[in-house]
Structure 1
Amino acid sequence: MLSACPPRIFLRRWILLCLLFFITLPTAQAVSLPQAAVAAQQTKTDSGNAQEPGLSDKKAAYAALANILDNDQSRQELIEQLRNAAATPTDTGTPELAPPTEEPEEKTVLQRLTDMTRQYGGEAATQFIRLHDNILYAPHKPFNPVTFVNAVNHFAGLALAMFALYWLLRRLVYPLYQRLGAWGRQKNRDHRNWLHLPATIIGAFIIDLLLLALALFIGQIISDNFHGDSRTIAYQQGLFLNAFALIEFFKALLRLIFCPHFPELRFFHLNDERASYWNTRLSWLSGIMGYGLLVIVPIVSNQVNVQIAALLNIAIMAIMTCWAQWLIFSNKRNIHNALIGLANRSMAFFAFFIRAFALFWHWLASAYFIALFLFSIFNPGDSLKFMMSATVRSLAIVGMAAFVSGILTRWIGKTIILSPDLRRNYPELQKRVNDWVRAMLKLARILTVFATLLLLLNAWNLFDLWHWLTIGAGEKMVDILIRIVMILLLSAIGWTVLASLIESRLASDSHGRPMPSARTRTLLTLFRNALAVVISTITIMILLSEIGVNIAPLLAGAGALGLAVSFGSQTLVKDIITGIFIQFENGMNTGDLVTIGAITGTVERMSIRSVGVRQDTGAYHIIPWSSITTFANFVRGIGSFVANYDVDRNEDTERANRALQAAVNELLENPEIRGMVIGEPNFAGLVGLTNQAFTVRVSFTTQPLKQWTVRFALDEKVKKHFDAAGIKAPHQTVEVMQTGPDVAGAASLPALPAPQ
């Protein structure tokens, strides 16, 4: 009998015996391992067929257990399961160890597409087989003409009463609709009252729904008292009332969109002829399909037989689908032109979506009616209800999204006006707040579009929004979006506050505040730029971390890159460090007149790496900070100059000094010049003597950059007084040296006349 038992059974039994050797339990337990040695658990064994395993079986069992214990992961799983089994209460039955579950194999995109095609293809084939069986093999029902005629009379009476009642109720409120339209259009002419027209349109729609509810209430009363005590007639009338409610609600939506009788309540720019055209045809289309599928087909199925009802369903939907396709493609160009015209009159945000919809609206409409035809074949009643429900929800979603987006778009175009005090103290605050508010509103508008797409997919059962938000990836995505928005909002607030404080210090004295010094302006500008870089870097790093990017390698890479760059850019580092120290030492500022090396000019720009100097010739020089060893700044504290004037050696020294003092005194009588001079001039007297001239000197201390103005004015006065006193300037003399035989000839030449 040993050969009758497979070796696998012996292997499994010996593994169980080995486990029982290590574990002592009060009762016999069946334990299964989590590895290949326990592919199937044997809870009950036939003890009569159990045979003593051979030596080879025992060795195989020992080897299997050794393999399990040798692997760390499998050994840990075995220990955990054995502990859980030992901790199981005795009243819960025999503890078991579950074998490990294999990870599902990751499928490729092609495999998933094949599986999906096979699944939906099989479902469609099943539906066609079921339709075929209903047409051919459904049981026939006896036809009773008397009962049928009685039911038709009661049904027709209720239908005529409902249509007449609802038509009369709507006629009674026509004057109210006209007044609402006129009032809404009058208010709409004032752009500040743009909400009045949508409110009147929605109000008219609500009145239409209330009239429908009143008609249904009266129709239910008629049905309760006019069914001839027949449950079949009551059932048929109930079908009609349900269809009447659904179809008339859809027609009310059509009247809301096209409003054929009241152009003032028409939201779109559409002429009366086109509005009446589409309202009439879509109403007939929905009415025939609705009453056909929801009333006629169920009554025929119940009163005649299922085959005729199924064929009638196919015939009605085929005819209506063909008619709908003809309407769509025959009006394709007209509707495309109308949508383009609407886009041209709309705001830029809506114009983009309207133009995109104008390109493929006919394909969407065609697919809509084809899907309705296919659904109605398999499930006549529920398919129409689903399609109408999805259509109504889609229209409501699009309408709400358009309303919210319109409000956001109008808010984007508005400007927040701060108080005069805030604008005076923080000149850039209003612009920066408006920029951030516009950015947040644009982000809200984008999220509105995204939410609209998800809601539309959910309305057509193409996407489970609730599952996605609560269990699926949507929960994490929404959480990340909230975090990102909060981070951006805090960063924007922080940057706005700090930058506004800095710019308030940089503001000019146009509002009556003192002008900040050039050093202050330079340092604050550099600090603002550095602050922008720091806030932007930190914000980007946090955002990358929030969306799941591991920023540790980025930080490590940035450190390594910085180390590599530092070796290759020592001059750049030297420029930055030198520039920082020059700024903190207040060496120069924007607008200063400086001399750097051989360049003299005005400082126009100062960055963290270089300084820009403009010469009086117009040349612009960019000088790195590290190349500046010494420089001269002409606007630090005071300006000064020393004026030397050469006089002919034959002139009287005292008379020359008196003329110079008279020139200086006349110069200082000018109040403008006197305001530029600090203290009193210093007369040094005679300071130089040559063979032809002597020099007199006077020195001035002036305001910064005013020394040239004073010097030029002084030169004018000195010339005036020297000329008036007859003081001559030294004249140039030339001495001719000759040798040889020409000396006698040269001596005979006449002498040059003396200078006058």
Structure 2
Amino acid sequence: MLLRIKPKLACHPPTTLFRFILLLLFWLMLPQAQAAPVAGAPPQQSASTEKENQQAYTALADILQDDKARAQLIEHLRAASSEKAPAATSEPKTSDTRPAPVATLLDSLTTLAQNTFSHATQKLQTLKQTIDSGPKRTFHSQTFFRALTYFLATVVATFVLFHLLRFLIGPIYQRMGSWGHNARLASGPWYKLPASILAAFTIDIALVAMAVTAGNIFSQYVNGGSPVVARQQALFLSAFAIIEFFKAVLRLIFSPNFDYLRPFPISDATARYWNRRLAWVSGLIGYSLMVVVPIVAMRISYQVAALVNFVVMLALTLYAIGLVAQNYRIIQNEINQLAERSMAFFSVILRGLGHVWHLLAIAYFVVLFFLSQFDAPDSLTFMMGATVKSLLVIGVGVLVSGLMSRWILRRISLPDDLNRRYPLLEKRVNSYIPSGLKILRVIVVLAVTLSLLDAWHVFNLTQWFSTESGERVVGGLVHILLILFIATFSWTILASIIEHRLVLEMSNGMRPSARERTLLTLFRNVLAIVISTITIMIVLSQIGLNIAPLLAGAGALGLAISFGAQTLVKDVITGVFIQFENGMNTGEYVTAGGVTGTVEQMTIRSIGLRDDFGVYHIVPYSSITTVANYAREFGVYRANYTVNRDENIDHVNEVLRAAIDELKKDTSLRIFLIGEPVFNGVVALGDHSFTTRVTVRTQALKQWTIQYALDRLVKMHFQAAGITTPQQAVQVSYKDASPEDARPERPASAERSISTLCPK
């Protein structure tokens, strides 16, 4: 086989182990390079020794030019000298404590460029030697055309059978596409369309396998008994299998003849355009490198084969670059339109791809051109294999990410009974699952990226998994995800239990008390802080951070904060004692810190009060010296009514009792009364009035409701009974301001008086 030079050196950068081996070889070759040729040695041996000396000098120059390699050589020489030192002297061995120079990023890039250039030069020299040393063959027209006849017969038979099978299987493609399309239009199961696409691809691969099998059977009987012809037929069948598999992948993507089986929203004209050109380019490149070039090398010469390889690949590379440049804007616009119809996560990736897709395509064909010059058949196999792997990885990644994105946008609905028992469970589930799926989607993108690098031999993913760093990274990532899942699950369960206890009635029909609700709310807040802190600490330890100094620093910081924030500490301690003493609870009407209102929130530092005007007050615990709680056990309304002193006391009490009786007959108000009202009698006696009092005990916070109703009834009964309230007469007198001689003297009785009745 012609040019069987693996392109791995061009794909893998030299490692530290490679540099060490180079140093070791130089160390072993150094005495030979310095030694003189042995007398009487053959000329070939002297020339070989001289060549080895030149290679040793070149390697030495390369090592001395590279700072990192030079430092490694110095360390190797010092280590070698230190091993011989104890045998020569008994003095204590001293070691050089100077640190080795640390290679910077620029040094690493320079070293990589130098090594790549060196390897490319070696590959060119090897290629030149292979071409120069290739056997010179004599062209025999009769043998050539006889072999060409059998070869073309195999080619024609294979292609005819393959296209015949594809023609016969066409209705099945149409039926599968209609099945998946109808399922999508009828909002059927989501998996029908992907299943039909994968089924069509599987059938396509099966047809390729059947055609290759038939071609192998045909070539066994139609080869003229020549092993050279059989080898050429095998070359064609191998190339046919690889190229047609790649074309099947193209048909999977574009599906030019069956639009229902097209996984992406591409127009028919665009799909046919790109499928035809990419299939033509891949077929021409594949058959040229894997069939034509090896046959020319076998039948004519290596020199002609290398020339054909160069001309064909250069022409196809220029054509591919021109095709990419011609359609750069068109493809970019289509990718941007696809990004506008996609989700936000995929939209960012697609927009970035729209700006660099032409650079990736040009780099692809340029790399293929250079690799094909070193090893024509294997370079194509490598590029096609890497391409198919990349498409497969991207397809699986897009499928998995798309499914995750669908679940991110969906809302999970729990049964009504479960929502009634755990009111916030559905909300938490609908917040945790999308967040977890977003994290998994990012991990999928990272996995796809590493798999793409592995497919192109830029990064050995399998080897990295077996290293200590790979195991540590993967294990740490799994542990972090497991810790987050356990923490989230634990918080959800515990918080749901607390909320279930806060909201629902118990089996005996009793609801939790206000104190219990307050304590459970505080416990839920403390539980959230504790779980979050422990989770963060464990995750940091899994990342590799030493949390012991962090804990010590947190303790010292907490001590410093406690000294600097004594009021805060006082708030917390006072709040703890208020809760233990059950001084107030959420929902109660209290007076605390000079503010009267309803307790809406209680934290570990303060309470939130809403006063009668709707103003929300935050009162720290440290400012509360006295708590007046209106919502405990019962309330009392002391009703004082002042009437005219001339009224009959017994009559007033009788009318007041009638008003109380009417109040007790009201079913909507009677339930608020506790016991019987107490008539205290006259509690104040004045010059013009007296005051009588009645005391009414009510349920807590219902004394104002009773007050409004009772005052209304008393007013109505007093008015009906003719009982008056005390009045004050105000007399305003004045005289005319005119002079006495201007008008006659007016008697005193002529003074105008105005009496105004004013309530007390």
TM-score (norm 1): 0.82
Alignment correspondent of 1:163: 159
The answer as to 2:549 corresponding to 1:553 is yes
1:359-385 superposed Cα distances (whole Å, 9 cap, x missing partner): 111111100000000000111111111
Which of these residues, 682, 689, 693, is aligned with residue 686 of structure 1? 682
What secondary structure sits across from 1:680 in the alignment?
Answer: coil
Alignment correspondent of 1:436: 432
| CA–CA separation in structure 2 for the residues paired with 1:731 and 1:38 | 122
| CA–CA separation in structure 1 for the residues paired with 2:727 and 2:537 | 79
- Structure 2 unaligned blocks of 5 or more: 1-77, 733-747
| CA–CA separation in structure 2 for the residues paired with 1:754 and 1:41 | 131
TM-superposed CA distance for 1:718, in Å, is 3.3
TM-superposed CA distance for 1:41, in Å, is 7.1
Alignment correspondent of 2:409: 413
Cα 1:385–1:523 change in 2 (3 A) is: same
What secondary structure sits across from 2:84 in the alignment?
Answer: coil
- Structure 1 unaligned blocks of 5 or more: 1-33, 44-56, 75-99, 737-747
The answer as to 2:237 corresponding to 1:193 is no
What secondary structure sits across from 1:688 in the alignment?
Answer: strand
Which of these residues, 290, 295, 298, is aligned with residue 299 of structure 1? 295
Contact 2:339 2:346 in 1 (8 A): yes
TM-superposed CA distance for 1:386, in Å, is 0.8
TM-superposed CA distance for 1:307, in Å, is 0.8
The answer as to 2:565 corresponding to 1:569 is yes
Alignment correspondent of 2:477: 481
Alignment correspondent of 2:245: 249
Cα 1:708–1:441 change in 2 (3 A) is: closer
Mapping for residues 250-289 of structure 1, pairs under 5 Å: 250-289=246-285
The answer as to 2:36 corresponding to 1:40 is no
Alignment correspondent of 1:461: 457
Cα 1:669–1:440 change in 2 (3 A) is: closer
What secondary structure sits across from 1:677 in the alignment?
Answer: coil
TM-superposed CA distance for 1:37, in Å, is 8.3
Cα 1:652–1:114 change in 2 (3 A) is: closer
C-alpha root-mean-square deviation of aligned residues, in Å?
A: 3.1
Cα 1:735–1:322 change in 2 (3 A) is: closer
| CA–CA separation in structure 2 for the residues paired with 1:154 and 1:597 | 106
Contact 1:508 1:514 in 2 (8 A): no
1:526-563 superposed Cα distances (whole Å, 9 cap, x missing partner): 21111111110110011111111111111111111111
Letter in 2 for 1:709: T
Alignment correspondent of 2:657: 661
TM-superposed CA distance for 1:112, in Å, is 2.1
Contact 1:134 1:307 in 2 (8 A): no
The answer as to 2:200 corresponding to 1:204 is yes
Mapping for residues 143-182 of structure 1, pairs under 5 Å: 143-182=139-178
Q: How many residues align?
A: 664
What secondary structure sits across from 1:197 in the alignment?
Answer: helix
What secondary structure sits across from 1:701 in the alignment?
Answer: strand
TM-superposed CA distance for 1:459, in Å, is 0.9
Alignment correspondent of 1:53: none
Cα 1:461–1:513 change in 2 (3 A) is: farther
Mapping for residues 375-454 of structure 1, pairs under 5 Å: 375-454=371-450
| CA–CA separation in structure 2 for the residues paired with 1:37 and 1:363 | 52
Letter in 1 for 2:499: E
Cα 1:570–1:164 change in 2 (3 A) is: same
| CA–CA separation in structure 2 for the residues paired with 1:663 and 1:683 | 12
| CA–CA separation in structure 2 for the residues paired with 1:720 and 1:243 | 110
Contact 2:731 2:755 in 1 (8 A): no
| CA–CA separation in structure 2 for the residues paired with 1:258 and 1:511 | 64
Contact 2:659 2:714 in 1 (8 A): yes
Mapping for residues 345-360 of structure 1, pairs under 5 Å: 345-360=341-356
| CA–CA separation in structure 1 for the residues paired with 2:354 and 2:754 | 105
Contact 2:585 2:599 in 1 (8 A): yes
The answer as to 2:380 corresponding to 1:336 is no
The answer as to 2:474 corresponding to 1:507 is no
1:673-730 superposed Cα distances (whole Å, 9 cap, x missing partner): 3332221122222333334333322221112222233233333333444444444444
Name the stretch that deviates more: 388-397 or 147-156: 147-156
What secondary structure sits across from 1:600 in the alignment?
Answer: strand
Contact 1:135 1:311 in 2 (8 A): no
| CA–CA separation in structure 2 for the residues paired with 1:717 and 1:360 | 86
Percent of residue pairs identical: 49
| CA–CA separation in structure 1 for the residues paired with 2:341 and 2:509 | 48
1:51-80 superposed Cα distances (whole Å, 9 cap, x missing partner): xxxxxx9xxx56x1xx35xx9xx9xxxxxx
Contact 2:162 2:208 in 1 (8 A): yes
Letter in 1 for 2:105: V
What secondary structure sits across from 1:122 in the alignment?
Answer: helix
| CA–CA separation in structure 2 for the residues paired with 1:135 and 1:35 | 44
| CA–CA separation in structure 1 for the residues paired with 2:631 and 2:717 | 32
| CA–CA separation in structure 2 for the residues paired with 1:605 and 1:333 | 60
Cα 1:638–1:157 change in 2 (3 A) is: same
1:597-628 superposed Cα distances (whole Å, 9 cap, x missing partner): 64333333322222233332344332221111
What secondary structure sits across from 2:562 in the alignment?
Answer: helix
Alignment correspondent of 2:230: 234
The answer as to 2:357 corresponding to 1:361 is yes
| CA–CA separation in structure 2 for the residues paired with 1:732 and 1:289 | 118
Letter in 2 for 1:364: L
TM-superposed CA distance for 1:639, in Å, is 1.1
Bigger relative contact order, structure 1 or 2 (CA pairs below 8 A, ≥6 apart): 2
| CA–CA separation in structure 1 for the residues paired with 2:669 and 2:392 | 81
| CA–CA separation in structure 2 for the residues paired with 1:266 and 1:691 | 104
TM-superposed CA distance for 1:387, in Å, is 0.7
| CA–CA separation in structure 2 for the residues paired with 1:623 and 1:102 | 64
| CA–CA separation in structure 2 for the residues paired with 1:318 and 1:633 | 93
| CA–CA separation in structure 2 for the residues paired with 1:688 and 1:480 | 83
| CA–CA separation in structure 1 for the residues paired with 2:722 and 2:203 | 111
Alignment correspondent of 1:524: 520
| CA–CA separation in structure 2 for the residues paired with 1:321 and 1:539 | 55
Letter in 2 for 1:431: K
Cα 1:749–1:124 change in 2 (3 A) is: same
Contact 1:576 1:625 in 2 (8 A): yes
1:240-273 superposed Cα distances (whole Å, 9 cap, x missing partner): 1111111122122222222222222222222332
TM-superposed CA distance for 1:525, in Å, is 1.7
The answer as to 2:673 corresponding to 1:629 is no
Cα 1:418–1:119 change in 2 (3 A) is: same
| CA–CA separation in structure 2 for the residues paired with 1:489 and 1:711 | 57
1:610-649 superposed Cα distances (whole Å, 9 cap, x missing partner): 2233332344332221111113222211111222333444
TM-superposed CA distance for 1:105, in Å, is 5.7
What secondary structure sits across from 2:446 in the alignment?
Answer: helix
Cα 1:692–1:257 change in 2 (3 A) is: closer
Cα 1:359–1:591 change in 2 (3 A) is: same
